Amino acid sequence: MNSFWNGKRRFVALLMFLAGVFVALEVPPVIPFIQLPGEKFPEGFDIPFTGIRWTNTMVGSVIVWVVLLLFVVYVSRRRPKDGNEAPPGGFYYLFEVLFEGLMGFVGGIAGGRHFRVIFNMFMTIFLVVLMANWMELVPGVDTIGFIHPHVKEKYDAEKDEYKLVTTDGYEIYQGFLGISYVNGQCNWISPADEAAADEAALASADAARLAAMDEQAVKAAYARYQAAHNGHGDEHAAETTAEADEASAAYDEVLAARVAEKQARADRGCHTGVATAPWQDGYEPYDKTKAKGISLHPDPSSEEAKLVPWVVLPFVRVPSTDLNMTLTIALISFVMIQYIGFKALGIGYLTKFFNFGTLFKSPLGGIDVAVGLLELIGDFAKILSFSFRLLGNIFAGSILLFVMSFLIPILPWPFFILEFFVGVIQALVFALLTAIFMNLATISHHHDDDHDHDEAH
């Protein structure tokens, strides 16, 4: 490894850095529109024979399974048939190191009669969660996808009609290589909001003019005007004009701020909802009937596209950022914990939860019952804590990567390294806790010989 990076090959790092600079300049980074549930694909992307629409986290899980399957096929083909054969080398060694290391690790924690079941469960969960977590480091995940308009159909009960509701989003442009990009510099503002802002600017400009030339000042000016007409010099007339100028300057100043705001938006290449403002010539108020005619999927290059906000719907999203995936693995782990409990202790496993045996025998029997019920609740709480721990960590991690890629688009590497380790630790914690709880379930509540058997190892 060291020899690879010595000498001339260091230019690879420089090239990557330059590519980062180029891409950051050519395609300005965007803060993605963050959604907690997995995003549904557009119509027509159903899972065959089910009628269920694909979500991008489902695509992520399918990729995880396919990668793991290939991994299994590779390793089982490369495995030496007997000890005398030469080791195949390469990637296979990595697997052996991982396998043997973790086998010793789990053996130290749960090395008992049920070691094989526990270790199978541990390794499966570890590999699945690890692959799922590491997906957030792959370029293109969470960033490449359908560009789709962020509009929803909403039923208006009062008028008994459906209308399109627009929410947050960005404008789009056709850029580098003719691909449509979401424009991170232009938050989408609805034409109606834009028109309302124009009207508000006009109203506040009027208010400013009135403030500069309030009623008393008008009266005084009129008096001076009268006096001037009655023959005493032109000085007062000049004063009146100055006052009127001041009022109109105040009016212009407020409007200029709004004009500058619109100009700044236009300079960044963004649309403004209405081409002109009410105080300019050729003012066209926004036509509300237009909004009803917008199709849910307009052509990105059409004029209609300017009337709706756009967001990216990634093809692939990290599966562990979807509660469905984490909850599923948590349920599997919960079921396996109960299964191995029953397998090891038989029906007696239930005395862990419903411990009425000592109720009338010992003075503290009531406490045993309460402790058993607490254990029952605690077992169900495991589902919650397993699923939320993984979801929270990985979802927060991917938001961290989004934000850091937005703030420092050319140097977000340290955070990718951080997320690399978070992915390993979370996978390890998930699998390890499952192994430990499974081991605990096999140990009898009463200190009988089964317990001693486990201790012996």
Partner 1 sequence: MDPQSTIILGKAIGAGLAMIGAAGGGIGIGLAVGGAVQAMGRNPDHTPTIQTNMILGVAFAEAVAIYALVVSLIILFVLS
Contacting partner 1 within 321-340 (CB under 8 A)? none
User: Which position has the token pair 């509660």?
Assistant: 323
Single out the segment in contact with partner 1 by CB under 8 A; choices: 115-123, 206-214, 362-370, 388-396: 388-396
385 touches partner 1 by CB under 8 A = yes
Q: Using CB under 8 A, pick the residue from 128, 135, 316, 391 that binds partner 1.
A: 391
Single out the segment in contact with partner 1 by CB under 8 A; choices: 30-38, 220-228, 249-257, 410-418: 30-38
Single out the segment in contact with partner 1 by CB under 8 A; choices: 28-36, 66-74, 118-126, 249-257: 28-36
Minimum separation from the CB atom of position 194 to partner 1 (A): 15
CB atoms within 10 A of CB 45: 12
Across the chain, which distance is largest between two alpha carbons, in Å? 125
203 touches partner 1 by CB under 8 A = no
Contacting partner 1 within 259-288 (CB under 8 A)? none
One character per residue 34-63, x = contact with partner 1 (rule: CB under 8 A) = xxxx--------------------------
392 touches partner 1 by CB under 8 A = yes
Q: Which residues, in sequence order, are bridge partners of residue 146?
A: 313
Minimum separation from the CB atom of position 425 to partner 1 (A): 7
Q: Using CB under 8 A, pick the residue from 73, 238, 296, 396 that binds partner 1.
A: 396
Report the alpha-carbon angle 182-183-185, nearest 5.
150
Q: Binders of partner 1: how many residues, by CB under 8 A?
A: 21
Minimum separation from the CB atom of position 156 to partner 1 (A): 17
CB atoms within 10 A of CB 419: 22
Q: Using CB under 8 A, pick the residue from 89, 108, 139, 231 that binds partner 1.
A: 108
**Nearest residue (CB) to partner 1, 52 versus 196:** 196
CA dist 403 and 398 (Å) reads 9
74 touches partner 1 by CB under 8 A = no
Minimum separation from the CB atom of position 395 to partner 1 (A): 6
Please report, as a single letter, which amino acid is at residue 181. Y
In this structure, are residues 235 and 247 in contact, taking their beta carbons and an 8 Å threshold?
Answer: no
In this structure, are residues 132 and 126 in contact, taking their beta carbons and an 8 Å threshold?
Answer: no
Q: Using CB under 8 A, pick the residue from 62, 63, 109, 228 that binds partner 1.
A: 109
**Nearest residue (CB) to partner 1, 80 versus 392:** 392
105 touches partner 1 by CB under 8 A = yes
CB atoms within 10 A of CB 102: 19
388 touches partner 1 by CB under 8 A = yes
One character per residue 345-384, x = contact with partner 1 (rule: CB under 8 A) = ----------------------------------------
420 touches partner 1 by CB under 8 A = no
**Nearest residue (CB) to partner 1, 166 versus 355:** 166
**Nearest residue (CB) to partner 1, 34 versus 138:** 34
Minimum separation from the CB atom of position 392 to partner 1 (A): 4
One character per residue 422-451, x = contact with partner 1 (rule: CB under 8 A) = ---x--xx--xx--x---------------
312 touches partner 1 by CB under 8 A = no
Minimum separation from the CB atom of position 200 to partner 1 (A): 11
**Contacting positions for partner 1 (CB under 8 A):** 34-37, 105, 108-109, 385, 388-389, 391-393, 395-396, 425, 428-429, 432-433, 436
